[in-house]
Each structure stands twice: as C-alpha cells, then as structure tokens.
Amino acid sequence: MTAETGGVREPQASDDQVLAQAVELLHKRPAEALEQARQILKRSPGQPIATLVAGIAQRMLGDASSAVATLEGLVRAQPNAGVTHYEYGLALAAAGHGEAAVAALRRAVALNPGLPGAWRALADHLTAIGDTAAADAAYAQHIRAATHDPRLLRAAKALCGNDIPVAEALLRAHLKEHPTDVAAIRMLAEVAARIGRLGDAQTLLARCLELAPGFAEARAQHATVLDRLNRPLEALREVEQLLALEPRNPNHRNLKATILVGIGEYEQAAEIYRRLTTEYPRQGKVWLSYGHVLKTSGRQAEALNAYRTCLELAPAIGEVWFTLANLKTYRFTREDVTAMSAALAHPDNTDNNRLHLHFALGKACEDAGEFAESFAHYAEGNRLRRAQVPYSADDTTRMVERSRAIFARELFASHAGEGCQAPDPIFVVGLPRSGSTLVEQILASHSQVEGTMELHDMIDLARSLNRSTAGPEAGQYPEVLSSLGPRELRDLGERYLERTRVQRKSAVPHFIDKLPNNFLYAGFIALVLPNARIIDVRRHPLGCCFSGFKQHFARGQHFSYDLGDIGRYYRDYVALMGHFDSVLPGRIHRVHYEALVENTETEVRALLEYCGLPFEDACLRFYENDRAVRTASSEQVRQPIFRDGLEQWRHYEQWLQPLKMALGPALAYPTPAELGKSRVHH
C-alpha cells in the first residue's frame, strides 16, 4: 500500500518512520507529535496508532474535547484494546466526564490487567467518589502491575491479597540487599500505613522522595499520610506539587479539599467539591462530601439539597441518613422512615451502612415518642460500631491513675514560671455532648476570641514525648514529663502555638481549642502553657453519657459505643478533674451545662471574667454568629438556648442500668437548686 505525497509515490515504510517519530515526540513536544499524526491520518484515515497518538497529544495540549472526539471512534473500532480504553478514559476525565472515565478505565483494566497507569487512574477516580475499598484494591493492583522485579512481584501479590505479614517480610528482606529500591520502599510504606504505623510510613515515603523526587505515586501517598498525621501544611505542599503536574487528577483535588476542610478553609473546599459534583453527578458520596462542607459553613439549605441529591442517587448510604439525624433540628417524614427501613433490610448492605441507619432510625423513633424501638436501634447501631473499634476501659483508667500520680502539687510547684507564657489558647474540655460546643460558640462570639475546631495537636505533642527506655513506663507520657526541663517545656508550648497557627484566620489575641478529650492532658497543658485558660464543661452524667451513646462520631470517642464503657470513662474524667481541682485550685473553670441553660447571663459573665475578657452582649446572642461549626451540635448552636434536651434521657432510664452501675460514685450530681445557689470557680 502506498500514499501520495506531493506527486511522489512513497512506500508505506515512510509512514512507519513518521509514526515512530510521532510516538517519540509525544511526551516531549506533543504539538509536533500531533502534526505528524495528522499527516499520516490524511494519507491513511483511521490509522489506529496515529489516531491514538493524535488523541493523546490533544489531551496533553489541553484540548480535552477534541481528544475525546478523536478517541471515541478508535474505541468503537477497537473495542478490545485495553490501551485505547485507558487513553479514552484519561481524555474523558480531562474533559470533566468523570463517570464515563471510570467506565472506560474499568474496561481498560478488564481487557489488560497489566496496565499500571490505568489501575492508578481508576484508583484516583474511585477515591474521589468515595469508593475507598475498590480504590484500595485498584491501588494494590497498580503496584502489582508496575512491579517488574520478580522478587518484588511476590510482595505485590501479598499486598493485593492483604497478606500483610508476608508482604512485610519479603520487602524487608529485599531492602536489606537493595536499600535504595524506591519501588520496594514505597510498598513497605503501604504496609506500614495499612497497619496504622503512620510515622513509619511517613519516614519511608520521605526517603523514597529523597531518592526519586519525581515519583508521583509516592508523593501522593506521602500527602495522604501527612494529612492523617495532622500535618496539613506539609500535606498541602505535596498536593500542590502533584496538581502542578496533574491539575485535573480527581484524587489530588479530593485530598486537597479534605486538607482545606481540616484547616478551616471551607469556601475553597466547597468549590472543589462543587466541581466534582459536575464531573460525577450521579455519585452519591460526592454529593455527601459536598453537603458536609456546606453544613459546616452554615449553608444549611444548600447542604440539605446536596444530602437529598445523595439520597435520590444512593438511598442505601446510611451516612447521609445519619447526617440528617445529626443536624438535630431535622425531622424525618414517614416516607423517610420507610426508605431507611428498606435500606436496612437490604441483604447486600454493609455493616457500616447499617450502623448509620440504626442511629438515624433511633433518632426518628425518638422524635416520634417510640422510645423502646428507638433504644433498640441505638443499641444495635452501637453494637455494630463497637465491634469495629479497639477500646479498653482498663487502659483509660490506668492512664488516669498514672496521671494523678505524676501531676502532683510538687511537680507544678517545681516548674512554676516555666513553659511558654503566651495566653492565646482557651481549651474547652470535658466529654462529647456535654455542652462544649455551646460554650465555644459563646466565647467565639466575643470580639477578642476566635473559634477554630477540635484540634488534636496537644495530644499529638504529648504522644511525641514517648521514648524507648528500659522501664515499661519511664519513657512514656505522662511519666516522661518528670525528666523535662524549662527549655523543653517552653519549646513544647511554642510548638503547639506554631502547629495551630494555620487554624487562626484573624488577628484577635485568643483562640479556642475545643477537643473534649484534652481533659486527659490538662496537666500537660498547665505545664507547657501556664497562662492558657482551661474550661471544663460538665453535664448530668446520665444526660451526657446517653447523649454520647446516641451519637456516631466521625472519629475517635471509641468509649461511647457501650453503656458500661462510657460510664467508666465519665467516672475516670470526674476523678481526674477532681484531682486537678485539688492540686491546682482555681486553675480550671467549670461550667455546668444545666446552670448555663437556666442562668445564661450569670454563667457567661463568670466565664468571660475567668478568661480575662470584658463582657460583650454578642456573647448572649451567640446564635447570630455565622462562623463554621464542625461538631454534632452545629445547627443547635445557631439557635437560642433551649431546655428541651436536658431531661431527654429520662425517657430511656429503664434501659440505663449498665450505665448507672459503671458510673458508680460519679452518678452523684448537683441538683438544679444547688447549681443555682452560687457561681463558684473551682
């Protein structure tokens, strides 16, 4: 076969040479590659490789719609060519057709499982649409397909099968002989991440990038691990590098949005999720993520629309039903209850969906006054969740006992005047569902105070002190504090301020850290930040604990899924805070939620006085504050104080005997009359 060129007949071999040159130019000079491909297609319309090169070049030059049009015909002509479907999927993604891209990539890997790029692209899309299990499997297949060393292939197969011990043993043996093999280092980091050794994973990935800065997959993994380690700015820097090379990568954009939410940049995050909904309009979990950031920003009407869209697309997703219940102000219709019950009964639904549905149905039945059925749903939701999370009440009790032994009056006296002297932080501690979000909202309505969110930085700093020593506890927190000097204490306080600076969006002098669990670290706070304020928000134990039992928390709070566990946790909390009342009298200010509800102005004035702040009327009109709120009480604190929930636990009292037994002496609580007698600083 020949082609006409300027009146001279040339053999087909010249086209082969031009085609080879086009392929060679593709990744260096795509415009020239496109021109070469077009020359061939003029002479040989539909030539498969030239068409493929043209489509790839068009995508690389930013003309995604032309790339889709070019490759569409090739896919029809070559329905069984995996590479063609792969490139078609990339073009569809670049053009913003995310769902069609997923279908094309699925077809590509089905036809040719040895395409590592197709597996990675598919995994990126699956991550963006919230299908994490399938994404993890695709990432594992990517590693396997990208592995050419037969010695690493066995480890890759073990990773695909989630056989972690075998994968780890094979990789460590390989790295002893080849310590700079970046593929093996990345795989070992994946092993570490899967078993929760995030610090090890981060160290391995940093080494990997030191050896191979252009290793994009390792950088993406590094960004994810940094985010999980609560190092958002470092994670964001990694993501920005990735997006500079792949601006439309859905996984990178999704991760950026997650990080932005974590540092309070809600509007930027909402815009990323909004764009993702246009690319994946029929993916319920994308709409769910969009709804979450809208809700946090106070855009409730838009959030409800996003949640409703999610339900229309995927009514079996339990999390969206629970999210509606979690608004606290939302009331389910009969049709909602019917839909939830049908989703719960579906034989293919997952335990994760079921537990969310049980929590949501518990709320629906509670609102309808059907308390026996409500409790049955709450109990089953908690049972399912408790089976998923590791928690030992004995470990918490031991931690409290050790803290009481270490944080003696003498320890604080010996470190008087030390630590970082900055007065910026206001810590609001206690148990979840105690009223801490209300206290935070009141304080954040003051002109000199900024609300942030529940920050994990103090806990991270305390855990970073753990050292390897001969003794079982001598190098662990809190015992390790006995060996710290003035400079170390000051540095720790300064590190906390530096780590949390990203959360501060204004120049006001004070900010709030409202992580309830920080009560376990109140002694640590008093040592490293002696001028920080600590506010303990306390609620009636049965009201507080049962409210926690009704709640499925996004993260942490593993003690809350069993009535016995949560009762012991509350008892340990009361014991530890009582200890600090004794050794640091007046250092911690206590707010009783019931007193705050009944005598709001008196309590608010005392709260502000403790914080060294002048009284401002805005603190009584906290519900007018439009700041973002991330906790379960986000919609409640956008309304005036209401009393309806104070005694709600009494409807369930007949089922709360395990809680009462676990609380023991902590069940004692001041009566309303006693709370109303005086405002005392403890």
Both tokens assigned to 661? 């037994």
Average pLDDT of 434-451? 94
Q: Running DSSP on this structure, what letter comes out for residue 435?
A: S
What's the pLDDT band for 1 if we cut at 50, 70, 90? very low
What's the pLDDT band for 416 if we cut at 50, 70, 90? very high
Residue by residue, DSSP assigns 349-362 as --HHHHHHHHHHHH
pTM: 0.85
Q: Note whether 43 and 5 are within 8 A (CB).
A: yes
Angle between helices 13-25 and 30-43 (to 10 degrees): 160
pLDDT attached to residue 632: 47
Instruction: State how far the Cα of 550 lies from the Cα of 541, in Å rounded to an integer.
Output: 14
Say yes or no to pLDDT of 160 above 90: no
- Greater pLDDT, 149 or 1: 149
pLDDT attached to residue 18: 78
What's the pLDDT band for 627 if we cut at 50, 70, 90? low
Instruction: State how far the Cα of 374 lies from the Cα of 378, in Å rounded to an integer.
Output: 6
Say yes or no to pLDDT of 540 above 60: yes
What's the pLDDT band for 423 if we cut at 50, 70, 90? very high
| Percent of all residues in the chain with a pLDDT value above 70, rounded to a whole number | 93
Say yes or no to pLDDT of 219 above 50: yes
Domains of the chain, earliest start first:
393-466+476-677 (3.40.50.300)
pLDDT attached to residue 660: 97
pLDDT attached to residue 459: 94
Q: Running DSSP on this structure, what letter comes out for residue 650?
A: G
pLDDT attached to residue 587: 96
Q: By mean pLDDT, which of 153-162, 465-474, 551-560 is the weakest?
A: 465-474
Rounded mean pLDDT of the chain? 90
Instruction: State how far the Cα of 558 lies from the Cα of 551, in Å rounded to an integer.
Output: 11
pLDDT attached to residue 679: 53
pLDDT one-digit tens code per residue, 481-525: 999 999 999 999 999 999 999 999 999 999 999 999 999 999 999
Q: Note whether 262 and 232 are within 8 A (CB).
A: yes
Q: State the CB neighbour count (10 A cutoff) for residue 47.
A: 18
- Greater pLDDT, 108 or 150: 108
- Greater pLDDT, 7 or 435: 435
Instruction: State how far the Cα of 145 lies from the Cα of 661, in Å rounded to an integer.
Output: 56
| Beta-sheet pairing, 533-538 with 588-592 | parallel
pLDDT attached to residue 647: 83
